[in-house]
């Protein structure tokens, strides 16, 4: 399935590079396809460790809290828009042919 990521930051010039930690570098004014694997790597890169303490304030565990999805994170990214994309074109055509054959 994947995602479509659009970078449109008005105070940057066209083609200036924008780095999104855990995802990569993109040029301002561009639209990019982000596959599910890269989106998952983004989420893993933003995983945090949340310590758990007992009533005596002793550390009893370190729990991992998975980072936000790309869609969730984009809501707070200035000038970045992320939308869910359909299946890749080749896969969509293959699926259509399979359905027509039924």
- Predicted local distance difference test score (pLDDT) of residue 46: 94
- Predicted local distance difference test score (pLDDT) of residue 85: 87
* pLDDT over 90, % of the chain: 78
End-to-end CA distance of the chain: 23
Tell me the per-residue pLDDT of 16-55, one tens digit each, with 9 for 90 and over: 999 999 999 999 999 999 999 999 999 999 999 999 999 9
Question: For residues 39 and 89, which has the higher predicted lDDT (pLDDT)?
Answer: 39
What is the length of the chain? 102
Domain layout of the chain by residue ranges? 3-100
Q: Measured between alpha carbons, how far is 5 from 26 in angstroms, rounded to an integer?
A: 9
Residue 88 confidence class, pLDDT cut points 50, 70, 90? low
């Amino acid at each position: 399935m994947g995602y479509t990521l659009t970078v449109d930051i008005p105070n940057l010039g066209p083609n200036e590079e924008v780095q999104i930690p855990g995802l990569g570098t993109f040029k301002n004014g561009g639209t990019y396809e982000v596959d599910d694997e890269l989106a998952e790597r983004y989420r893993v890169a933003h995983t945090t460790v949340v310590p758990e303490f007992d009533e005596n304030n002793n550390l009893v565990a370190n729990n991992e809290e998975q980072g936000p999805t790309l869609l969730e994170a984009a809501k707070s990214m200035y000038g970045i828009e992320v939308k869910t994309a359909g299946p890749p074109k080749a896969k969509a055509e293959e699926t259509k042919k399979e359905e027509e054959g039924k």
